[in-house]
């Protein structure tokens, strides 16, 4: 048993492992790491949601096995959210499945629909489960450079024509993790038309649909007439309501695909703990001012990040959505690559970020910065980075005369 198992061999090395090891070592020696790496919300879940959990958990019947596809009240709450937010009508019985976060939903729909050798089109860079869920299922991945316009649609069209076998599905994700790109309804209309033309499935991930900062709420692909014929969409409560550890999300859309996902899940799990599902329904049905507050908090952090890092000499483009900034590695450090630059920030500035290559090869040359520390800590990170940049410049200046002497 010396060789790795088949599915394990198909998984690439975990790019973030070395960065995580350095982060742990720095903390062990007492360093105060400003951790802008993992997208793990740091604020508490709104109190009315927690109160509903506590109320429900005190009812002994709720400790029994739950419903794999989600309790009826939760699926109805998700249907009401889609109608309220997007103007989309969904049948809670046949077009909605509750998942253990959108990540589990993606992994299990891959198990449900993909066969070994199937081709799936995935943007690059993107959230790792978009590709790895299908890799674990035995499918082959064809990467497309991530984009939110005509270039991406042309890439899909080209890939369909030149892939053997013809692709089974395409993954799209807006607002995007890690790039923070957004898409408009016209893009979705074109994507649906392309999917119908080539008879492929569209898997849309809108986990960050409620975290937007420019006044324009991101749309759903299901707003496009006829999109349900070819599409399933994944959402999550993790970021919208600060509920990452609760593991609650949804898959909605095409009845046949949702049915396949529900059937696979029925063999694998009994759904989330019932009190969590009841509290999740309370989140969707209850007052939404908490969502506005969470959005405002991330916008404030975004603005603090962009302003303070810019003063530190590190230009970070302002993300229009998500809880991430996608920033090019500064020119002076580009030769290091994203992993070595991320390691440098930990070791010399006590700041943790995610290397862009961890989200796909086309993410090389970038880092992802998560807005998961308060504004004071973000500004602390900027000061530390400014100091690092300054010390590097001084060291370069000191080295320059000796290099000139050596060349004479």
- CATH code, domain with 170: 3.40.640.10
What is the residue range of 24's domain?
6-44+290-391
pLDDT above 60 (res 405): no
Residue 378 to residue 366: CA distance in whole angstroms:
19
The reported pLDDT for the residue numbered 4 is 77
The answer to whether residues 186 and 334 belong to one domain is no
Residues 343 and 374 in one domain: yes
* Per-residue pLDDT tens over the stretch 277-332: 999 999 999 999 999 999 999 999 999 999 999 999 999 999 999 999 999 999 99
**Same domain assignment for residues 191 and 276:** yes
- What is the average pLDDT across 90-95? 98
Same domain for 279 and 302? no
In tens, the pLDDT along 96-139 reads: 999 998 889 999 999 999 999 999 999 999 999 999 999 999 99
In a domain, 132, yes or no: yes
pLDDT value of position 402: 56
Rounded percentage of the chain residues whose pLDDT exceeds 70: 96
For 10-49, the pLDDT digits (tens) are 887 777 777 888 889 999 989 999 999 988 899 999 999 9
Q: Are residues 97 and 212 in the same domain?
A: yes
Domain final residue pick, 270, 285, 300: 285
Residues 160-174 have pLDDT tens digits of 999 989 999 999 999
pLDDT in tens, 56-81: 999 999 999 999 999 999 999 999 99
Radius of gyration of the chain (CA): 23
Of 327, 379, 57, 20, residue with least CA distance to 178 = 327
Q: Output the CA torsion sign for 243, 248, 104, 106.
A: negative
* Residue 227 confidence (pLDDT) above 90: yes
Beta strands 351-352 and 34-35: pairing type?
parallel
- 36 within some domain: yes
What SS3 state is found at 164?
coil
Q: Is residue 304 part of a domain?
A: yes
At which of 269, 285, 301 does a domain end?
A: 285
Q: Are residues 33 and 161 in the same domain?
A: no
Q: What is the CATH number of the domain that holds 343?
A: 3.90.1150.10
Same-domain status, 312 and 171? no
DSSP state for residue 167 in the 8-state scheme: P
First to last CA, the chain: 60
Let me know if residue 407 belongs to a domain: no
Residue 19: the pLDDT is 82
Give the total number of structural domains in the chain. Answer: 2
Residue 397 lies in a domain: no
- Site of tokens 């405002």: 296
Confidence class for position 1, pLDDT limits 50, 70, 90: low
Query: 212: which DSSP letter?
Result: B
**Is the residue at 405 inside a domain?**
no
Q: How far apart are the C-alpha atoms of 331 and 64, rounded to whole Å?
A: 57
What's the token pair of residue 151? 């270039």
The model's pTM is: 0.92
pLDDT at 109: 96
Residue at a domain's end among 268, 285, 302: 285
274 and 322 inside one domain: no
Q: Is residue 358 domain-shared with residue 266, that is, in the same domain?
A: no
Which ranges of 4-46 does DSSP label H, i.e. alpha helix? 6-9, 16-28
Does some domain include residue 408?
A: no
Q: Which of 75, 116, 113 is nearest to 261 (CA)?
A: 113
Q: Is residue 175 one of the residues assigned to a domain?
A: yes
* DSSP track, 147-163: -SSHHHHHHHHHHHHH-
Task: Give residue 375's pLDDT.
Answer: 97
Residues 311, 267 share a domain: no
What is the torsion angle, in degrees rounded to the nearest 10, for the CA atoms of residue 285, residue 323, residue 147 and residue 251?
Answer: -30
Same structural domain, 108 and 133: yes
Mean pLDDT computed over 245-262? 97
pLDDT of residue 48: 97
Q: Are residues 353 and 264 in the same domain?
A: no
> Long-range contacts for 186-194 (Cβ within 8 Å, ≥24 apart)?
187/148, 187/149, 187/153, 188/219, 188/220, 188/221, 188/223, 188/224, 188/227, 189/224, 190/150, 190/153, 191/153, 191/156, 191/221, 192/221, 192/224, 192/226, 192/227, 192/230, 192/231, 194/153, 194/156, 194/157
* Furthest-apart CA atoms within the chain: distance in Å: 85
């Amino acid at each position: 048993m010396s060789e790795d198992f088949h599915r394990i061999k198909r998984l690439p090395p975990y790019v973030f492992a070395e960065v995580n090891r350095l982060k742990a070592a720095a903390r062990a020696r007492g360093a105060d790491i400003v951790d802008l790496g993992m997208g793990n919300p740091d604020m508490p879940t709104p109190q009315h949601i927690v109160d509903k959990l506590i109320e429900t958990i005190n009812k002994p019947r709720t400790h029994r096995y739950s419903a794999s596809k989600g309790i009826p009240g939760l699926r109805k709450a998700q249907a009401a959210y889609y109608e309220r937010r997007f103007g989309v009508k969904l049948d809670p019985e046949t077009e909605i499945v509750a998942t253990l976060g959108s990540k589990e939903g993606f992994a299990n729909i891959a198990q449900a629909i993909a066969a070994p050798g199937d081709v799936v089109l995935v943007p690059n860079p993107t959230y790792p489960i978009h590709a790895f869920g299908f890799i674990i299922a035995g499918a082959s991945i064809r990467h497309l450079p991530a984009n939110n316009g005509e270039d991406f649609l042309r890439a899909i069209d080209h890939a369909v024509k030149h892939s053997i076998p013809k692709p089974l599905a395409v993954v799209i994700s807006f607002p995007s993790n890690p790039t923070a790109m957004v898409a408009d309804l016209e893009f979705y209309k074109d994507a649906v038309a392309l999917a119908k033309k080539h008879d492929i499935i569209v898997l849309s991930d809108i986990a960050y649909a409620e975290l937007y900062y420019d006044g324009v709420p991101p749309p759903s692909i299901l707003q496009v007439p006829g999109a349900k014929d070819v599409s399933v969409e994944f959402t999550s409560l993790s970021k919208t309501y600060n509920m990452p550890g609760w593991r609650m999300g949804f898959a909605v859309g095409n009845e046949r695909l949702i049915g396949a996902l529900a059937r696979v899940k029925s063999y694998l799990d009994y759904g989330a703990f019932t009190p969590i599902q009841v509290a999740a329904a309370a989140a969707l049905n209850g007052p939404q001012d908490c969502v506005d507050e969470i959005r405002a908090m991330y916008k404030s952090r975004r603005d603090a990040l962009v302003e303070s890092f810019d003063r530190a000499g590190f230009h970070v483009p302002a993300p229009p959505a998500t809880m991430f900034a996608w920033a090019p590695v500064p020119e002076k450090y580009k030769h290091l690559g994203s992993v070595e630059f991320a390691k440098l920030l930990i070791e010399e500035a006590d700041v943790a970020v995610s290397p862009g290559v961890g989200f796909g090869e086309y993410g090389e040359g970038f880092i992802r910065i998560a807005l998961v520390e308060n504004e004071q800590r973000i500004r602390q990170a900027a000061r530390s980075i400014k100091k690092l940049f300054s010390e590097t410049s001084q060291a370069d200046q000191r080295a320059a005369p000796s290099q000139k002497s050596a060349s004479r």
